[in-house]
Amino acid sequence: MKQLKLTGFLFFFFLTESLTLPTKPQDVDDVSITQKFIEDNIGYITIIAFAQYIQEASFEEVEMLVKAMTEYRDKCLADMTLPECSKLANDVLLENICTMEGLPQKHNFSHCCHKADFERKHCFLHNKKADVGFLPPLPTLDPEEKCQTYKNNRESFLNNYIYEVSRRNPFVFAPTLLTAAARFEEMTKTCCEEQEKANCFRTKAETFIQYLKALSSYQKNVCGALMKFGPQILKSINIAVLSQKFPKIEFKELISLLEDVSSKYDGCCEGDVVQCIHGRSKVMSHICSKQDSISSKIKECCEKKIPERGECIIYSNKDDRPNNLPLREAKFTESENVCEERDADQENFMAEFLYQYSRRHPELSTPELLRIAGVYEDLLRECCNMKNPPDCYRHAENKFNETTEKSLKIVQRECEHFQISGKDDLKYHYLINLTKLAPQLSTEELTFLGKEMVTALTTCCTLSEEFACVDNLVDLVLGELCGINENRSINPAVDHCCKTNFAFRRSCFEGLEADKTYVPPSTSQGLFTFHTDLCQAHNEELQRKKDRFLVNLVKLKPELTRVELQSLLVNFTNVVKKCCQAQGPEACFKEEVLPALFPLKSNWYSWSNKRNQNSP
């Protein structure tokens, strides 16, 4: 159930505290505690910001900036009246990045340094690359070597870890990365005491990786919504999530909390790590100072010292629905004055509707709650122009049920497909579908998305909360596909689904077919050239190569049917098995691969074979 709680309430991810944050009771001034945290962790914070903004930067370059920012901190702690100490921390950071000799030219961000203030920050944000295929593989150390490195130099070990993770996760919020670093250190300490170190790291790392991946997906999804659709959609997401989590919260109190919550995403989504950390602390203080009116489930959490309370709130159960809460709120469907109330303050009226509907329906996903709100808004737009509006909107519940029924059928169909097909066939299904829909994406992105779709179904399809779980997780996958930047473009059909309506993008993608505008590459680009390293790949690595092969095959021959593609994948698997048992695997691959893959496409096969023979 932890997976469900994480995905259902990931909104609170940035409330977790970490590393050296002072462990003082809750009644101490949170502003001073947060400031102390920033001062103590200036090195970690600098690494995160620099590695996320300039992912190509070396660890040595990052260390140079850490030194500069530490000197800046010490100077300002000694004399806060200095002119440079009145600047915003993120502005100081970007200034230092821009003044590092030769760095802007080396890593191609000089154009950002020529801008100022908001334009500069926005430029650096757009410099971030979600697809990190250009980076070398994440360095791996032997468990014994890892433990010895940690023992010899803890600070350098953790700095390097934060650097490597941050540059590969450029949109993950700083507090999440700091919490991940604390968990990583805890895991390292524990496993280095074990006899079976490798097994310990392997077991604990899986949970740790899932934690970071889930939070990363949610953060990118919400920031993508903010950047593509503006602050109103962010407010709606937060209303739905908070109202489900805290159903006894009063609407007025919810709006007050939202002012703190929504404004914090600006800093977090823009990569302003200091503003993000300050915002996190302010939200925590708000929740715990009003816990009696917000939730009965967080009292013990708020009594904990600061490092533990965020995690406690994340994993706390949804509060019980108030006993006096009727199944329906008559104000929105049975009142004679619905149109007048809407017209008086449409934004507040729709916010209250979403709040009331969400707190009554903990079984629905966040996207579904937003769909219901959208259906209600469209219905009122129609009804309030009629002679007798009440006769029209009294049937709103029927519209809501129809909307949920459509979404439920999509989820049921997917889960039935999973139960019939099994994990591997399901993955191939999504790899083929996604590649046909968006062949412009990189092979790495497509294999990742296919795997995430399968994870969503294998995680959720056997749970009682199947609908909300699947719908929430699949929405995160679509968020990954659509990306975070508002100017990301894939192809006209996909762009339309990503940018037209956040709540209904799932149903939009359901109706898409293969991209008609895609022009496949004119050559196989070495796709059918294999070497002996294929025979040395372990099961997991071999599976990754097969997945990549399938995606590249679809990119090259998008007109092939699913049956043809899966048949060719079976042929490829058989060839690998045969050639890896042969005396000369590489010669075998050259002789066997093309005939096995294209037995019925003799013309195309002859062209490819001739090209391969002529290649150096």
Distance CA 361, CA 368 (A): 10
Q: How would you write 414-476 as a 3-class SS string?
A: HHHHHHHHCHHHHHHHHHHHHHHHCCCCCHHHHHHHHHHHHHHHHHHCCCCCHHHHHHHHHHH
Phi first, then psi, for residue 116 (nearest 5°) are -135, 155
What contacts 24+ positions apart, CB below 8 Å, involve 164-168? Answer: 164/138, 164/139, 165/212, 166/47, 166/48, 166/51, 166/52, 167/51, 167/52, 167/55, 167/57, 167/132, 167/135, 168/55, 168/132, 168/135, 168/138
Q: Which amino acid is at 290?
A: K
Q: What is the DSSP string of 464-480?
A: TTHHHHHHHHHHHHHHH
Distance CA 68, CA 161 (A): 20
Distance CA 12, CA 218 (A): 10
Distance CA 387, CA 339 (A): 12
User: Was 272 annotated as part of a binding site?
Assistant: yes
Q: CB count, 10 Å around CB of 454?
A: 21
Q: Are 55 and 107 in contact (CB under 8 A)?
A: no
Give the angle subtended at the CA of 427 by the CAs of 602 and 218, to the nearest 5°: 135
Q: Are 392 and 288 in contact (CB under 8 A)?
A: no
Phi first, then psi, for residue 47 (nearest 5°) are -60, -45
Among candidate residues 204, 210, 223, the one with its CA nearest the CA of residue 272? 223
User: What dihedral do alpha carbons 467, 468, 474, 475 form, nearest 10°?
Assistant: 140
Q: In sequence order, which ranges of 153-230 are alpha helices (DSSP H)?
A: 154-168, 174-192, 197-229
3-state helix, strand, coil split of the chain in percent (to 5) is: 70, 0, 30
Q: Which amino acid is at 405?
A: E
Using CA of residue 579, residue 582, residue 586, residue 591, what is the dihedral sign?
Answer: negative
3-state secondary structure of 537: coil
Distance CA 489, CA 505 (A): 15
Distance CA 272, CA 117 (A): 12
Among candidate residues 504, 466, 366, the one with its CA nearest the CA of residue 11? 366
Q: Are 267 and 341 in contact (CB under 8 A)?
A: no
Known binding site: residues?
272
Known binding site for Ca(2+): residues?
272
Known binding site for Zn(2+): residues?
272
